[in-house]
Amino acid sequence: MKNFVRAAVLVLLVLLIPGCISKLVYHPTRDFQYTPQDIGLAFEEVFLESTRGNEIHGWYVPCQNARATVLFCHGNAGNISHRISHVKIFHDLSLSLLIFDYQGFGKSQGNPSEQATYDDARAGWDFLVKEKGALPEDIVIFGKSLGGAIAIELAAEVQPGALFVDSSFTSTYDVAKAHYGWAPRFLLRNYPYDSISRISKLQAPVCFFHSQLDDVIPYEQGVALFQAAPEPKAFVELSGSHNDGFVKSLDLYSKAIDAFIKEHMEDL
């Protein structure tokens, strides 16, 4: 009977793909909670053209006498208004910032997909290079959770000054397998985000963050990414859960970002 029920569930999931699996991978919201103005920062609201003519929405938050510019790729839920803590962290480190929403998130048009998220990140990169005149070696790509996979994909193509990967995974299948041992690979065939196969292509310094208490993405997957990445690289162990690790390790988090940028970008 159990085998029959399991088979029935799998058949149902197959019939509902891609809509069902898409909703498991992405959790966008449209409503905004905060803007940089709420923490006293001036910002520019930007709309960038991505795939299929869809416009994606973002904030460009300049910092006077900036050391570098961060291109931030957020996780799979909410929108940029839920990342105000990161906006403040980067500004306090004298870093300008472009933070954007993927298609279907916040004010961005379209619907999310793996390729669309890659295209959205590339649109952000092109905006910094072509519109703001940033040099590739002066751009930091920073990815959190799902955004880590997107950041790895982009960094493998464009060679930024540095890459930060915070609490990310080897592949979506590996995450599903860790939580649901029975999960078949084909369920995520349209959303593999196979970072472990791309990480060796990096030609930029990369710093990883992960907590052993991460309740969403196993710590071992962060370690596996670190081990597969080429030098130069660093690994910083956080405390706390998946969503609050950087908050509970805020001093360590900020100092690690600062030190890595100093070592690999400011001494060039």
**What is the band of 24 on the pLDDT scale with cuts at 50, 70, 90?**
confident
Distance CA 251, CA 211 (A): 15
**CATH architecture assignment, domain 2-266:** 3-Layer(aba) Sandwich (3.40)
pTM value surpassing 0.75: yes
CA 208 to chain centre: 12
What mean pLDDT comes out for the span 167-189?
Answer: 83
Higher pLDDT, 262 or 176: 262
**Residue in this structure with the two tokens 């982009």, named with its chain if needed:** 154
pLDDT for 267: 63
**What is the band of 7 on the pLDDT scale with cuts at 50, 70, 90?**
very low
pLDDT for 232: 98
**Angle at the Cα of 84 (from 80 to 86), degrees rounded to 5?**
100
Lowest mean pLDDT among 67-81, 96-110, 117-131, 231-245: 231-245
Does residue 181 surpass a pLDDT of 50? yes
3 state DSSP class of 61: strand
| Peptide bond just before 232 cis, omega within 30 deg | yes
Tokens of 194: 């196979």
Q: 62: alpha, beta or left, given left = phi > 0 and alpha = psi -120 to 50? A: beta
pLDDT for 98: 99
Average pLDDT, the chain: 91
For the CA atoms of 53, 136, 96, 259, the dihedral, rounded to the nearest 10 degrees, stands at 140
Tokens of 188: 């995520």
